[in-house]
Each structure stands twice: as structure tokens, then as C-alpha cells.
């Protein structure tokens, strides 16, 4: 190596050390806040998106989580300084840190397949539940430990540091994924949403789950009717009339509790019941339990109202007498115990981001 090259090398190493040196506490906190916001946003997107085009959300969620891990050495210096001040509310900050550790551990355990359940609950549910508990604590922390940014925080060194953190987290994410695959861990077989295959082509082995606390209702097939509301009025259909269609569809049910199953469903296409959507902007699908969800009217041609799965009638837990099959959407879109479909002028997005009933 020539003398000039040696000097350039020393300067580049010295510059890298300056970038990797722990920044001021407020910059560490700002970076951590940005990572937490990104983790939460991509986590919500990962739960919501069921098509392969949404793979980016799951990847971004994992990378942002690893950014938080890489920030631990810098944040620990800030924490030690805060503890020395002896604030009365320091226990809340320690609780927040502990919950972050639990969330991260549950996520990694479920992603690798090494810890599929915690205290009898799916590890993914624990990961999500603790993350939701973190939200008010993070908001409290923002108010109680207010960050006062400065114009100098947006320096070239700050952006270089952020770039290195992002690149390091991305490299660690893909290296960890390869290690899981080469190590033959269960996580290597997950779907892009993070779900594990359970009960494909075996409906009896498919888990029975409901969104939040929706109970399994007792439906009398003799009295039950499907109400169809379109632009011309409303009419009702009985179970025998719907089952007579027998149109088959193979689709993947991907539940937000962390499992998925491919099944052969049969029933009547929604398009057959609503041949003309007119000026409608959405389709509301309603359950006997009061649960409902609204679809874009453009989805009508892809939806199936299933009466059978795997050649057998639906079980009560899986939506008997009628269940919606919504390919490319997560399980909470697959309304069970359907009793009404209705074309509406309301935009499809005029609903909570996730069902609340």
C-alpha cells in the first residue's frame, strides 16, 4: 500500500469511528423513536396485508426491529444517565424497556419457530399484545422526556449514521433468515406473513379462531336466510339454494393468530348474486354475530360464499352455514356465519382499520 493510500485508509477508519461513536442522547432518542414508529407502522401493515405484494411490510418490520437492537449500546448510556438522576417515574421507563425486550423476544422466538407459544398463547399474539401495551407508555415517555431537537441534528454525520444502522440491520436480517434456513429451524417454512402452515386440505385440523371475542353462534339452518341487498331491492336465499351452486375455489386462509391453511372451498360466487353493482362503491358483508366488514366493490368478482370446505359442510367453528372466502386477504376479512351482503354507496375505506365488533 502506498503512503497516500495509507493516509486515506487512516482517515476513512477515523471517520467511521466518529460515525459509530455514541451520539448525543437526544439523537439516540430521536433515532429510537423513528425506529419504533417504523416498527409499529410496518407491524400494522404486516397484519393487514395478505397478498404476496405486501412482503415488503414484513421485511421492513424485521429490519426496523433489528435497528432497535443495534441501538441498545447507545441507548444504554442514556438509560444509565437517567437512572443516576433518580427520577420518581424511572420505574415506568424501566417497565417500558422490559416490555420492549418481551416484544422483541416473542417476535424472534416466533419467527425462528423456537418459541411458538407463551403461556398457552401463540407467540405472535403475545408479540402483538405487548406491542399494543407499549403504545401508551411510549406516548407518556414522549411527554415526560420531551426531546428538543436542534437544527444541527440534521447533519451529514447523522444521516451517515442512520444509513449505516439501516444497512447493518438489513444485513443482519437477511443473514439471520439464511441461518434459520440452513439450520433447519421451523421458521424457515413460514409464509411471508409469518404464519405457519396448519391443516392444509384437512379442515378438521384447521384451528378454530375468531376475531377478538366473537363467539360461535348456534344457527338454525331451517330459519337462517341470506339477505342480498342490491340496487334494485332485497331478497333472501336459503341454504339449499346456495349449496346447489357448488362452485369450487382453492384459496389460502391466513389467520392473524399466526397460521395458514390451503383449502378447497365450494359455494356460490358473490358475483352470481350481485351481477350488477351499479353506482355502489362498496360491499358490506355482515355476520349473525354483528361482525361486519366492507370490501371495495372491485373485489366482488373474487369473492365466494362457501357452504362447504374439503367436500364437507362447514363446521360451526368454521362459519356454518355460510362463510366468505376472500383470496389475498387476511383471515379477519373472511366473515363467518354470513347473513347479509349489501351493496352500498359508502366508500370501502370508511370503516375502522381493523374490525372492532
Q: Tens digit of pLDDT for each residue in 83-116? A: 777 777 788 888 988 999 999 999 999 999 999 9
Cell of 258: 399466526
β pairing state of 196-197 and 121-122: unpaired
DSSP 8-state assignment for residue 297:
G
Q: How many CA atoms lie within 13 A of 19 on its CB side?
A: 17
What pLDDT digit, counting tens, does each position of 62-86 carry? 999 999 999 988 888 887 777 777 7
Q: Residue range 217-223: average pLDDT? A: 94
Give the number of other CB atoms < 10 A from CB of residue 293: 24
Give the number of other CB atoms < 10 A from CB of residue 285: 22
Q: What is the pTM of this model?
A: 0.85
Q: Which residues contact 356 (CB under 8 A, 6 or more apart)?
A: 212
Amino acid 20: pLDDT: 58
What pLDDT digit, counting tens, does each position of 10-67 carry? 445 555 555 556 567 778 888 888 999 999 999 999 988 888 888 899 999 999 999 9
Amino acid at each position: 500500500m502506498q503512503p497516500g493510500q495509507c493516509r486515506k485508509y487512516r482517515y476513512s477508519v477515523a471517520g467511521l469511528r466518529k460515525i459509530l461513536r455514541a451520539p448525543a442522547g437526544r439523537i439516540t432518542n430521536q433515532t429510537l423513536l423513528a425506529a419504533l414508529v417504523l416498527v409499529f407502522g410496518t407491524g400494522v401493515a404486516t397484519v393487514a396485508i395478505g397478498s404476496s405484494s405486501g412482503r415488503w411490510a414484513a421485511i421492513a418490520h424485521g429490519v426496523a426491529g433489528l435497528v432497535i437492537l443495534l441501538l441498545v449500546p447507545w441507548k444504554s448510556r442514556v438509560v444509565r444517565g437517567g437512572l443516576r438522576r433518580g427520577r420518581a417515574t424511572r420505574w415506568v421507563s424501566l417497565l417500558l424497556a422490559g416490555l420492549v425486550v418481551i416484544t422483541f423476544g416473542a417476535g424472534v422466538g416466533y419467527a425462528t419457530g423456537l418459541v411458538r407459544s407463551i403461556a398457552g398463547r401463540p407467540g405472535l399474539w403475545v408479540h402483538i399484545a405487548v406491542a399494543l401495551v407499549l403504545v401508551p407508555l411510549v406516548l407518556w415517555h414522549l411527554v415526560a422526556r420531551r426531546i428538543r431537537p436542534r437544527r444541527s441534528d440534521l447533519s451529514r454525520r447523522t444521516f451517515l449514521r442512520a444509513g449505516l444502522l439501516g444497512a447493518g440491520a438489513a444485513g443482519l436480517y437477511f443473514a439471520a433468515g439464511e441461518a434459520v434456513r440452513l439450520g433447519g429451524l421451523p421458521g424457515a417454512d413460514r409464509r411471508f406473513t409469518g404464519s405457519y402452515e396448519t391443516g392444509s386440505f384437512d379442515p378438521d385440523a384447521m384451528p378454530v379462531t375468531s376475531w377478538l371475542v366473537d363467539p360461535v353462534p348456534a344457527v338454525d339452518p331451517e330459519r337462517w336466510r341470506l339477505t342480498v341487498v342490491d340496487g334494485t331491492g332485497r331478497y333472501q336465499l336459503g341454504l339449499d339454494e346456495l349449496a346447489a351452486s357448488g362452485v369450487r375455489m382453492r384459496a389460502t386462509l391466513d389467520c392473524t393468530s399466526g397460521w395458514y391453511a390451503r383449502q378447497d372451498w365450494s359455494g356460490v360466487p358473490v358475483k352470481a348474486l350481485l351481477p350488477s353493482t351499479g353506482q355502489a362503491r362498496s360491499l358490506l358483508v355482515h355476520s349473525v354475530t354483528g361482525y361486519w366488514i366492507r370490501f371495495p366493490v372491485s373485489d366482488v368478482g373474487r369473492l365466494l360464499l362457501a357452504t362447504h370446505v374439503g367436500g364437507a359442510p362447514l363446521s360451526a367453528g368454521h362459519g356454518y352455514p355460510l362463510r366468505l372466502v376472500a383470496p389475498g386477504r387476511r383471515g379477519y376479512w373472511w366473515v363467518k356465519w354470513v347473513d347479509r351482503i349489501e351493496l352500498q354507496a359508502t366508500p370501502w375505506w370508511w370503516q375502522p382499520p381493523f374490525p372492532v365488533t
